[in-house]
Amino acid sequence: MNFSLHHIVREPKIKKEKNPLILLLHGYGSNEEDLFSFASELPDEYFVISVRAPHDMMYNSFAWYAINFDADENKFSDIEQAQSSLVLIATFIDEVVQNYPIDQKNVTLIGFSQGCILSYAVALTYPEKVQRVVAMSGYLNTEIADEDFAKNDFSNLKIFASHGTVDQVIPVDWARNSIPKIKALGIDIVFKEYPVGHGVAPQNFYDFKNWLEA
């Protein structure tokens, strides 16, 4: 089987007929090993699969889409690349459900930074494929999602969002501004802040793990 995305797998320690899935989406300039470093700490019954973004930036760093700067040093995202990555992730979810004993009604995306932005977009575009999102250090960019996403049924979608209050890469206000937009869609969302920069605080990890287990 040729999968759409390169990935690494931690099999569940507790094997069931169908196991839940956690899919890890790394940030810009990172790789699949990054978030996988805490795979062993995640609940035993999950398949934990960490994927590598498709755009190679050299030296083992990858991106879901390019971030470009114009002459005035304004930063902007390559929306077309982001949308093609969204389709790749959605296709990959279908592939892993077909090829591993995974419960397609129990899929969690955990995304950090650019992976968080993609997690939001995938869940809003394909809420039938994703039941939970852990959205760390990112924000909602509705330009990436399908243009009719607001018509989707989000009754089964739950989100845990978190951000560092001194994040120097993605301002905490971007995350805060995303929350009312998500609530307006009727989505169940928990939002927490931590006194850190662009990274995952230990407390953040424990909080989302407890949220997952609840």
Question: Who contacts 146 (Cβ-Cβ below 8 Å, separation ≥6)?
Answer: 124, 125
**Parallel/antiparallel/unpaired status of strands 102-112 and 75-77:** unpaired
129's tokens: 């494929």
Measured N-to-C along each axis, helices 79-99 and 114-125 cross at an angle, to the nearest 10 degrees, of 70
Question: Who contacts 155 (Cβ-Cβ below 8 Å, separation ≥6)?
Answer: 186
pLDDT computed for residue 70 by the predictor: 65
pLDDT computed for residue 71 by the predictor: 66
Among candidate residues 101, 2, 96, 1, the one with its CA nearest the CA of residue 49: 96
pLDDT computed for residue 76 by the predictor: 74
pLDDT computed for residue 58 by the predictor: 87
pLDDT computed for residue 214 by the predictor: 87
pLDDT one digit per residue (tens) for the chain, 214 residues? 789 999 999 999 988 999 999 999 999 999 999 999 989 999 999 999 999 999 999 899 999 999 876 666 666 788 999 999 999 999 999 999 999 999 999 999 999 999 999 999 999 999 999 999 999 999 999 999 999 999 999 999 999 999 999 999 999 999 999 999 999 999 999 999 999 999 999 999 999 999 999 8
pLDDT computed for residue 5 by the predictor: 97
